[in-house]
Amino acid sequence: MANSILQLSSLELQQVIEQELAENPALEVPEDDPCENCDQPKTLCIDCPFRKQTISAEDLDISIYELEQPIDFAADADDNEGDFISNIRAEITLHDHLTSLLRAALPSSQWEIGEYIISNINDSGYMEGTVEEIAHDMGKDIDEVAAVLAIIQTFDPPGVGARDLQECLKIQLERLAEDDKGNPVALAMVRDYWQEMLGNKIGRIARRLRVSAKDVLQGIQFIKRQLNPYPGNSFRPPYQSDSDSHGAAVRPDVIVRRSAAGYEIEVVGTDQYILNISSTYRRMYEDIRNGGAKKYTKDDKKHIMEFVERADLFIRNINQRRRTLRQITKTIVEYQQGYLETTSKAFLRPLTRTRIARMLNMHESTVSRATANKYIQLPSEEVVSFDFFFDGSVSVKDLIGELIASEDKKSPLSDQQIASILQERGYNVARRTVVKYREAQKILSSRQRRQ
């Protein structure tokens, strides 16, 4: 349950809380008056001297008072008129979409390879570079990189991750064949007679496949009408039905605000639910634990014990989710402060989930679950995926552009010099990677840039 709750987005968490409230009679949202001494909900003022006088030692055995204080207690949970969070929009990119699928399809040990491959997929859906180059850059086995790429090529949109047009069309035709909507002649042409098809050698293809020329022409028409040579261009999140919308509405799971004292972090999703264990169930539970079990039937005791302990565990796990998200966000904010202050991607520092886990003494899978499919609103009011801070290639590309823009035009930086500068700044980037990122930005070589 802890891992499941940790992985939920804020909207999914609210749905789970509502479902648990409906199913568990021992769980409730208290509607009592605030504490007379501090005006906070009584379930939250355990440190209040007034409240301590009324809490027994037994009450503290079940941790129902661990919810952290929300930022604004004056907000009405039922009043959505001023809920600006629900109106915030951020675009789900192709990379965000593929990364979310990656986490569901591969073990965490292969996420680093998958994320690096995805960072090399352009807006048209094609992977730039080769498996050998990626394996060399990452110091990984070629077969392992190829296996991860093969998994990514099964993702939607069909054809994504292909290295060339032939592979792109082949992937799409194989997907259609799996759904019994394919064309075997078209698949055979793309797979086995690509050059003949490009040369419009209809007769030769027909003889090799032992079909009629009409079948070959129909296969070519099928390719033209049913396949997309640029799968990335057609990307739209499956839940986005508004064709006029250019981005999917995203509700941030964490909000970072700038204040006079630094940065404030709010974990969204549970402020409107101040969960508690029903006083009636709590009283019966304590009665059973303190020797009064004879008053209840066997079924009643099982019912009370099961639902009270289930409610207690549920609340503990929600509290743990909030603390974990807050810790991870705090570490990211401190580590990426240069970007938060400038909003320039050139100031993004290379960061991995493994490094975050070591800094917080957590398991890497905990960090991955906590940040998967979640979004953070920055002080600039930009909403980005947590994955944004773990994509080193984004900042490297921008940093290469800035280094070239500020270089001496009479003595421009070579690709090797740029790679050396990046390595001094903590980016383990090979010269061939610099070449690839430079060419992706349509920047000339140092010899051609010299004035």
* pLDDT tens for each residue of 294-331: 888 888 888 989 999 999 999 999 989 999 999 999 99
Helix (H) or strand (E) holding 205: helix 202-209
Say how far apart CA 336 and CA 343 lie, in whole Å. 10
Range 30-52 average pLDDT: 51
Task: Lowest mean pLDDT of 62-76, 135-149, 381-395, name the range.
Answer: 62-76
Q: How confident is the model at residue 413 (pLDDT cuts 50, 70, 90)?
A: very high
Range 406-431 average pLDDT: 85
pLDDT for the residue 37: 52
**AA letter at 41:** P
Task: Lowest mean pLDDT of 39-53, 125-139, 217-231, name the range.
Answer: 39-53
**If you search the block for the tokens 């593929």, which residue do you land on?**
98
Residue 232, number of CB atoms within 10 A of its CB: 20
3-state secondary structure string, 62-88? Answer: CCCCCCCCCCCCCCCCCCCCCCHHHHC
Give, in order, the Cα–Cα distances in Å from 376 to each of 232, 264, 295, 332, 358.
25, 13, 51, 11, 22
The two tokens of residue 439 are: 């060419």
Say how far apart CA 180 and CA 318 lie, in whole Å. 45
Inform me whether the pLDDT recorded for 183 exceeds 80. yes
* Cβ contact 354:364 at 8 Å: yes
0.85 surpassed by pTM = no
pLDDT for the residue 249: 52
Inform me whether the pLDDT recorded for 288 exceeds 70. yes
Inform me whether the pLDDT recorded for 243 exceeds 90. no
Say how far apart CA 256 and CA 382 lie, in whole Å. 10
* Mean pLDDT, rounded, of the chain: 78
Helix (H/G/I), strand (E/B), else coil: 375: strand
* Cβ contact 231:168 at 8 Å: yes
Task: Lowest mean pLDDT of 18-27, 164-173, 245-254, 298-307, name the range.
Answer: 245-254
Tell me which residue of 440, 432, 430, 427 sits closest to 401, measured CA to CA. Answer: 440
Inform me whether the pLDDT recorded for 100 exceeds 90. no
CA max distance for the chain: 94
Q: How confident is the model at residue 50 (pLDDT cuts 50, 70, 90)?
A: very low
Range 167-194 average pLDDT: 88
Give me the sign of the Cα torsion angle 252, 257, 263, 266.
negative
Rg (CA), the chain: 28
**AA letter at 301:** K
Inform me whether the pLDDT recorded for 72 exceeds 60. no
Torsion from C-alpha of 313, 316, 322, 323, nearest 10 degrees? -140
Inform me whether the pLDDT recorded for 36 exceeds 80. no
Give, in order, the Cα–Cα distances in Å from 280 to each of 56, 149, 158.
16, 56, 55
Angle at 152 between CA 151 and CA 157, to 5 degrees: 125
pLDDT for the residue 234: 61
Angle at 161 between CA 157 and CA 9, to 5 degrees: 60
Task: Please give the share of the chain, as a percent, with pLDDT higher than 70.
Answer: 79
Give the N- to C-terminal CA distance of the chain in Å, as an integer.
63
Give, in order, the Cα–Cα distances in Å from 374 to each of 84, 101, 172.
18, 13, 30
Inform me whether the pLDDT recorded for 332 exceeds 90. yes
| pLDDT tens digits along 350-394 | 787 878 888 999 887 888 888 888 889 999 888 888 888 876 555
**AA letter at 332:** I
Range 40-61 average pLDDT: 45
Q: Spell out the residues 6+ positions from residue 385 whose beta carbon is closer than 8 angstroms to its own.
A: 96, 99, 373, 374, 375, 376
